[in-house]
Structure 1
Amino acid sequence: MNVYCTVRPVTPDDPRVPALLAAYHLRTEAEKGVPVASAAELPPAYRAEALDPATAFAADTVLLAVDEADTAVGLVVLTASHQDGVPEIKRLWVAPEARGKGAAAALMDGAVDHATRAGVPAVRLSVWLWRGRAIALYRRLGFETVRPWDDRPGLLCLEKPLRTAAGSDTPARIERLAAARIRAHAPDGLAALLVDAVDGGASLGFLAPLDPAEAADWWLTVADEAERGARTVWTAHGPGDVVLGAVTLVPGDKANGRHRGEIARLIVHRGARGQGLGGRLLAAAEEHAAGEGLTLLVLDTQTDSPAERLYRRAGWTAAGTIPDYAADPAGILRPTTLYYKRIGPLPRTE
């Protein structure tokens, strides 16, 4: 069952917090090769967090991911700033049954958003090297390796600089849209996004100038597909809920192709480019696809377009180029390059 997550801050004494922290630490100790049976048997520092989070995180920000039934499915902690003014993201945890549906990325977005609003220059985290999927997520979100502040073997230290200058935008919110939300945004935000992309030269299957009514009709068709499970949609929203970007995932519908999916219509508004939205939208779709059991993703894009750089940075492989495959918005035939990416659980690094 799909999980539509909402991330919200809670007080550390929220009754849902201890179980999530205990699950995180019990899993971590098992991965270290020193499993314990209960939170009471954890090492003292971790035991204190799991049994008394109100004290352990009294000065920190705790964020919960909750589903439509208001059930907590994940947690992350943003610590108070250290002496250098940089807070740390800790204890990212998503319940196993809710993984692969965007909860981890939503929690990270929430933590980064809180840090940005606090005006700090950066945010940092540490992660065990064997957590390959988590590392891949952090890198897609813009975290880079820095000099370690914790010298325990097998621990990787990462940091992300934040744009905190006066007047700068806060990070956009990435949201998975249900069919009703797609229909609500189709006549204005989504239609305007598609028109901007096509009129700006993006090869998305339409010719310029694109009629806003035609763009809205296309999104309404997408809503119908989403309703029957034939397409999944994510959007990036800025202040005032303005739509800044979108991406869709189409799962294979053939009996011999249900292991794969297609990334279609990755769009970022021209006024919002350069903020990493394309990478974040792509990461949300990839994470969801892996959680649904897909093992291969494909896409096509106009050869030598700016999108190619994004896909290569994100680990996609070019499979070949077809000349004169599709007309660009001006009606000129252009070559198209096909890309693929294998997804799913990454091998553990020993």
Structure 2
Amino acid sequence: MIDNLSVRRVGANEAAACVEALADVLIDCVEGGASVSFMLPISRERAVGFWRKVADDVASGERVLLIAEEGDGQIVGTVHLITAQPENQPHRADIAKMLVRRKARRRGVAQRLMAAVEHAAREEGKSVLVLDTVTGGDAERLYERSGWRRVGTVPNYALMPNGELCATTFFCKQL
């Protein structure tokens, strides 16, 4: 466990102020092999651009952004909840970009982020959550331990950052 770890929701202004630090987390994860929609080499410009879009979505109410910080204020993890859904799915949200810096892994950060994002989903009136992850990865075990239900696997769904094809497993959770 990380001493003095805090996990919290950030608003629009703070999300915009965290873009550079969140880009550091994204770059670290992609360089560590995480299949989270980005390929190697990942440029800082690309990572910053992604987080600026997320900050805009937080400002418009389409996403909820959570961060995990060490006692010194360094962001070591993040996750967001995509609340903007089609009109026939107002009760659903997607969990996206569960990212934990390599140096902070296996210390309870992801578990705390998942508990916090589920709490945020309840606050937003969401009762069905969906996420996907690389099949066979560490995240699968986290989601299963957290009460998520595996609903299927799609072979060759995405690419790893190095260009290799990977399967993706989909999970859901009823709140």
Same fold (TM over 0.5): yes
Confirm or deny that 1:286 pairs with 2:118: yes
Q: Does 1:230 align with 2:62?
A: yes
TM-score normalised to structure 2 length: 0.96
Task: State the partner residue of 1:305.
Answer: 137
Contact conserved, 1:234 with 1:247, CA < 8 A, in 2?
yes
**Higher Rg:** 1
Aligned to 1:175: 8
Unaligned runs of 5+ in 2: none
Worse-matched range after superposition: 205-214 or 169-178: 169-178
Q: Which deviates further from its counterpart, 238-247 or 222-231?
A: 238-247
Q: Is residue 186 of structure 1 aligned with residue 23 of structure 2?
A: no
Alignment check: 8 A CA contact 1:193 1:269 kept? yes
Residues 81-119 of structure 1, C-alpha deviations (whole Å, 9 max, x = no match) = xxxxxxxxxxxxxxxxxxxxxxxxxxxxxxxxxxxxxxx
How far apart are 1:209 and its partner, in Å? 2.0
What is the alpha-carbon distance in structure 2 between the residues aligned to residue 191 and residue 292 of structure 1?
26
Q: Secondary structure at the match of 1:256?
A: coil
Q: Select the residue among 333, 340, 343 that pairs with 2:165.
A: 333
Q: Partner of 2:74 in structure 1?
A: 242
Do the aligned residues in 2 keep the contact of 1:237 with 1:245 (CA within 8 Å)?
A: yes
User: Residues 227, 233 of structure 1: CA spacing in aligned structure 2 closer, same or farther, 3 A cutoff?
Assistant: same
Within 1, Cα distance between the matches of 2:108 and 2:130? 21
TM-score w.r.t. length of structure 1: 0.49
CA distance in 2, matches of 1:340, 1:250: 14
Q: Which residue of 1 aligns with 2:34?
A: 202
Shift of 1:318: 0.6
What is the match of residue 89 of structure 2? 257
Would the alpha carbon gap of residues 252 and 224 (structure 1) be closer, same or farther in structure 2, given more than 3 Å must change? closer
Instruction: State the alpha-carbon separation in 1 of the partners of residues 42 and 11 from structure 2.
Output: 25
What amino acid is the match of 1:202? Answer: A
Do the aligned residues in 1 keep the contact of 2:63 with 2:84 (CA within 8 Å)? no
Q: How large is the RMSD of aligned CA atoms in angstroms?
A: 1.1
**1:27-46 mapped onto 2 (5 Å cutoff):** none
Q: Which of the pair is proportionally richer in strand?
A: 2
Number of matched pairs: 175
Separation in structure 1 between the aligned mates of residue 152 and residue 85 of structure 2, nearest angstrom: 23
Whole-angstrom distance in 2 between the partners of 1:340 and 1:251: 15
Q: Contact 2:4–2:71 at 8 Å: present in 1 too?
A: no
Structure 1, unmatched stretches of 5+, are: 1-162, 164-168, 344-350
Q: Distance in 2 between matches of 1:288 and 1:183?
A: 19
Contact preservation (8 Å) 2:85, 2:92: no
Where relative contact order (Cα < 8 A, 6+ residues apart) is larger, the structure is 2
- Give 1:252 deviation, angstroms: 4.3
Identical pairs, percent: 39
Correspondence list, 1:1-350, <5 A: 169-187=2-20, 189-343=21-175
The alpha-carbon deviation at position 183 of structure 1 amounts to: 1.4
In structure 2, how many angstroms separate the alpha carbons of the residues matched to 1:227 and 1:315?
30
